[in-house]
Amino acid sequence: MNQVTKAISPSDTPVGGRGATILVVEDSPVQTELLRRALEAASYRVITAANGAEGLAMAKAQRPAAVVSDVNMPVMDGYTMCEAMCREASFNSTPIILLTMLSNPEDLIRGLNAGADGYLTKPYDVSALVSRLAALLDNPPTRQPADERRSVEVKLAGKTHLVYADSTRMLNLLISTYENAVLQNQALVSAETALDNLNQHLEQKVQEKTAALALEIKKHADLQIRLESEQRASAEQLQETYLSTIHAISLALEKRDAYTSGHQRRASELATAIAREIGLTPHRIEGLRVSGLLYDLGKISVPADILNRTRPLNKSEIALNRAHVQNGYEILRGIEFPWPVAQIVLQHHERLDGSGYPAGLKGDAILLEARILAVADVVEAMCSHRPQRPAPGIDAALEEIAQDRGVLYDADAVDACIGLFREKGFAFALANSDNGAKQ
């Protein structure tokens, strides 16, 4: 068993769940003691079990606020214990975090299907564990009914996997995956820094004893090449897992609303095409693409019957639906994206003249990416059927944005969008033959 890599003090600890009882399930006495000390330093009360069977029995008897469990254990492993707890309604809001030395995408999928809310790869940073635990205790998960937990196909490393989980649990696993990626990347950067320092020291020695150090220099050069190769491979695998999880969340959300299936993906596709026409950098375009896949994430809190209602919505229903931008922002703002994804999601219904929502922002106070996404959202929505109306079609959509060019919608984004359809033959690649108008 690997040891944890960093100790923390109570002053470093998030407020979430202070004093709560945490069940630690770990077959290594050394790891158990390290976890106990770390969690008690963060003001939690800790109880322990040596395997999954003992952990399940103790969870039923003690009713802890959260469970932190190893995966590979005798008698009953962590996955099996997690699945058993998730079958019991009394644990519907009990967060479960799995700790493991396994790092393949298949292990992440298995943890997600088992019902885990977090997944940290050993050796892990204790502060990251405590932070994830505090976040889950501040916003406990609620496992959705069986009809909400539909299977979603996810492709990882060329293989297709079925994921059985609700959108909230996928989001929690996305956060865990992203934090694991950040921590592992930091470890690789530290290793490269140490190697650079060593190379500088060796260069000084080379000046004194070139012949004697020639072999050692070669060994360290080989080590540097291997580290760089491993870093590239790790970054590619983590990126694939991260993006696949985002796509899975987007797809799971769309399954709640048959009329807008594919809406986020098509709007994201159009928004990135507009961004390329305007001349945004590849980095900003990738941030806009990710934001486009997640910008309606807040609709997870809107009842499905309102999303699919065939009559016009009343004032209270409109207000509830409009709250999805704030809800999406609250979900995403704690994730350290390399782009302002949460702000883009929050602002995509703002309008240049201040008539939008939720903050009534005007002009350049609205992020350019949000202004682009607003145009793409309107055009895609008018090309798709809704429960309350048929699809007006692409001509009506382009007339709508042209009419309010520079008033509601960004002029450059409008010009680029119209040019894409009128002059460059742009078409939505993922049109829904039943619910959308194929353009």
- 117 C-beta neighbours (distance < 10 Å), count: 28
By C-alpha distance, which of 287, 322, 340, 302 is closest to 167?
Answer: 302
- The set of long-range contacts for 398-405, using a CB threshold of 8 Å and a minimum separation of 24, is 398/422, 401/375
Which two three-digit tokens encode residue 254?
A: 């769309």
Predicted local confidence at residue 5, as pLDDT: 39
- For residue 384, the surrounding DSSP H or E stretch is none
- 122 C-beta neighbours (distance < 10 Å), count: 17
pLDDT for residue 404 is more than 60: yes
Taking residues 317-345, report their average pLDDT: 87
Taking residues 348-362, report their average pLDDT: 95
pTM of the entire structure? 0.53
* Count of residues making up the chain: 439
Q: Assess contact for 347 and 230: CB atoms under 8 A.
A: no
Q: Could you report the per-residue pLDDT of 197-231, keeping only the tens digit for each? A: 666 666 666 566 666 666 777 777 777 777 666 66
**Burial of 299: CB neighbours in 10 Å, binned 0-12, 13-18, 19+:** buried
The domains located in the chain, with CATH, are 10-145 (3.40.50.2300), 259-422 (1.10.3210.10)
Q: Could you report the per-residue pLDDT of 28-55, keeping only the tens digit for each? A: 999 999 999 999 999 999 999 999 999 9
pLDDT for residue 159 is more than 80: no
Q: How far apart are CA 424 and CA 141, in angstroms?
A: 46
Query: Given pLDDT bands bounded at 50, 70 and 90, which one contains residue 25?
Result: very high
Q: Could you report the per-residue pLDDT of 406-423, keeping only the tens digit for each? A: 999 999 999 999 999 999
Omega of the bond leading into 358 within 30 degrees of 0 (cis): yes
Residue 160, strand partner residues: 155
Query: Given pLDDT bands bounded at 50, 70 and 90, which one contains residue 140?
Result: confident
- For residue 153, the surrounding DSSP H or E stretch is strand 151-156
Place of tokens 């694939």: 240
In sequence order, the 6+-apart residues with CB closer than 8 A to the CB of 308 are: 257, 258, 259, 387
Taking residues 300-320, report their average pLDDT: 76
Q: How many angstroms from the chain centroid is the CA of residue 187? A: 21
Predicted local confidence at residue 151, as pLDDT: 63
pLDDT, mean over the chain: 78
Predicted local confidence at residue 78, as pLDDT: 92
Place of tokens 């607003």: 374
Q: What are phi and psi of 141, to 5 degrees?
A: -70, 150
Query: Given pLDDT bands bounded at 50, 70 and 90, which one contains residue 316?
Result: confident
Residue 24, strand partner residues: 48, 68
H-type alpha helices, 161-281:
167-208, 210-254, 263-278
Query: Given pLDDT bands bounded at 50, 70 and 90, which one contains residue 349?
Result: very high
Signed CA dihedral, 78, 82, 85, 90: sign only: positive
Indicate the angle between helix axes 105-114 and 78-86, nearest 10 degrees: 30
Taking residues 343-372, report their average pLDDT: 96
Q: Could you report the per-residue pLDDT of 167-208, keeping only the tens digit for each? A: 666 665 656 666 565 655 555 555 566 666 666 666 666 566
Q: How many angstroms from the chain centroid is the CA of residue 84? A: 26
